[in-house]
Amino acid sequence: MKLTPFLRIALAVAAAASLIAGLTGGLARLGVVAPVGDTADMHGAIMASGFFGTLISLERAVADGRLAALLVPAISAAGAVLLLSGYAEATAPLFLVAGLGLTLLTGLATWKLPTLFTGLMTAAAALWPLGTLFWMLGRTLPEVGYVWLGFLILTVVAERIELSRLLRPTLAARGLLVLLVALFALALGLGQPWNGSTLLSVALAGIALWLLREDIALRTVRTKGFARFSALLLICGYGWLIVAAANLTLLPPGEALYGHDAAIHAIAVGFILSMVFAHAPIILPAVAGAPVRYVPILYLPAALLQLAIGLRIAFDAMEATERLHCAAWLTIAAIVAYVGLLLGTMVVRPKALHAQ
Amino acid sequence: MKSEILAALATVDDPELGIDIVSLGLVRRLDIGEGSVTIELMMTTPTCPLGSLIAENARAAVERAVGAGWTVSVTIDKAAVWSPELADPTVRSRFERQPSRFEAAVSKFAAGLFGR
């Protein structure tokens, strides 16, 4: 299925606007820039639901191939636009519907191919509307944020298992993953990491170690070109997930002052954004029709991102909050450089593509 | 002719795995007719959005190989279900896990314990 140019542009604008508003909201939280509207308060909702929810829905809709499936990212994008316009209350029902739609799309894929990864992807998708429902029922964004991150983490896990089928994880390994995911969901249900954090921490570390062991990344890292670039970022991402788990135990968000900032960014920036950097050069041409491609200079923003999140966690741990803005600016520099370089590859085409 | 087309298809990679679509076993059907080539591919999963991109790359590669005057059409069979068994054995052996020394020692110990 090809997206119509209008839809493509509309979705791209909504996603880009979400990203920009989400990032400025983040800066405003640190007091670096003056807040615009309620983007500072809504930083988490904009990034998790507005940006990533729309992106993942678009990915599934394109894979589904039916035109009606595009309603899901369209509703999510509408929610993102409303959120940016300051109508936060009106937004939640839209994200709820989009989340249910995404769960339906992945559920249909599970019906077609009942396997561990499609089932897990459906369970992951269900966390998006569930978190949104909690939000509508009055829970705060820092609480809901971990449920939304659960949606993103488990979605990535499911996608990675799909790709690791060539490795044929043993029955015991698959059983272990189901157990870890169940513990992770249980911990979220118990209100962790705000209300105790040990179980969530253990489950998260377990999932990360499982991925390190069962993912093809440790094999594809020995190849070259894009597959290697992607594998290195994946390994870094799994590393940050382990750091996040350690962080949840050592600096529990309910007790340590900056434990929440460190944990949520270790996951959102260290893990999720590394995953985005690792996949964008192949996902964007597929879902958005943008003819971008991998170029080795993308290692630069990728390394910058790792530095940024490392500094952020270090400053949080040292309670050196007056320096947090350095890490935030570095993160933004990494994203801007990455997007800029990637867009640049659309303009600059190599003269002899196959002469390498 | 058929081998040329397969060679052309073998230059198209599944970008995520870095493995070509022929070795992965994604080429389901290849028909050569009067001035036309019809290829049917399958995808590794119904949740992967890369299908049309891979199909487009495959069409371009085959068109270059067969030259002008041929119509090349590439379709995706969405109903087909891929499994790792369809991949070339050399690809599978590249990915399949070699038991670690620890695992080998444990199985040896277990085998000894149960007298097998």
DSSP at A87: -
> If interface means Cβ-Cβ distance under 8 Å, which residues of chain A face chain B?
1-2, 59-60, 62-65, 106, 109, 112-113, 117-118, 121, 159, 162-163, 165-168, 216, 219-220, 223, 225-227, 230, 279, 282-283, 285-287
For tokens 């800066």, the residue is A27
Mean pLDDT computed over B56-72? 90
pLDDT digit string, tens, across residues B16-40: 787 899 999 999 999 998 889 999 9
What is the DSSP secondary-structure string of A217-270? HHHHTTS-HHHHHHHHHHHHHHHHHHHHHHHHHHS-TTTSTTHHHHHHHIIIII
Give me the pLDDT at residue A354, please: 45
Nearest to B96 among A167, A225, A230 (CB): A167
Give me the pLDDT at residue A38, please: 83
What CA–CA distance (Å, rounded) separates A319 from A305?
Answer: 21
When pLDDT is cut at 50, 70 and 90, the band that residue B101 belongs to is low
User: Residue B61 pLDDT > 90, yes or no?
Assistant: yes
Integer angstrom CA distances of residue A182 from A13, A108, A123, A179: 37, 22, 10, 5
Contact B95 A166 (CB under 8 A): yes
Contact A168 B16 (CB under 8 A): no
The verdict on B95 touching A (C-beta cutoff 8 Å) is: yes
Q: Cis bond leading into A193, ω under 30°?
A: yes
Distance from CA of A148 to the nearest CA of B (A): 20
Integer angstrom CA distances of residue A157 from A13, A118, A237, B47: 28, 11, 12, 13
Contact A2 B94 (CB under 8 A): no
Question: Which residue ranges make up each domain of chain B?
Answer: 2-113
Q: Would you say A105 and A60 are in contact if contact means Cβ atoms under 8 Å apart?
A: yes
Contact A165 B84 (CB under 8 A): yes
**Complex prediction ipTM:** 0.70
Indicate the angle between helix axes A225-250 and A198-214, nearest 10 degrees: 160
What CA–CA distance (Å, rounded) separates B76 from B42?
Answer: 5
Nearest to A63 among B47, B81, B96 (CB): B47
Name the residue in chain B with its Cα closest to that of A162.
B45
Q: Would you say A288 and A14 are in contact if contact means Cβ atoms under 8 Å apart?
A: no
Which token pair is A80? 């993102």
Question: Which residue ranges make up each domain of chain A?
Answer: 1-166
Contact B18 A113 (CB under 8 A): no
Which is more confident, B8 or A222? B8
Q: What pTM, to 2 d.p., does this model score?
A: 0.87
Distance from CA of B113 to the nearest CA of A (A): 21
Q: How many CB pairs under 8 A join A and B?
A: 81
What is the DSSP secondary-structure string of A21-58? HHHHHHHHHTTSS---TTTTTTHHHIIIIIIIIHHHHH
Give me the pLDDT at residue A286, please: 80
User: Residue B95 pLDDT > 80, yes or no?
Assistant: no
Residues of chain A with pLDDT under 50: 352-356
Give me the pLDDT at residue A355, please: 36
List, in sequence order, every residue forming a beta bridge with B71; answer none if it has no partner. Answer: B36
Task: Identify which of A28, A16, A55 has the alpha carbon closest to the alpha carbon of residue A328.
Answer: A28
Protein fold of B2-113? GMP Synthetase; Chain A, domain 3 (3.30.300)
Contact A113 B81 (CB under 8 A): yes
Name the residue in chain B with its Cα closest to that of A163.
B17
List, in sequence order, every residue forming a beta bridge with A177; answer none if it has no partner. Answer: none
Residues 6 or more apart whose Cβ sits within 8 Å of residue A314: none
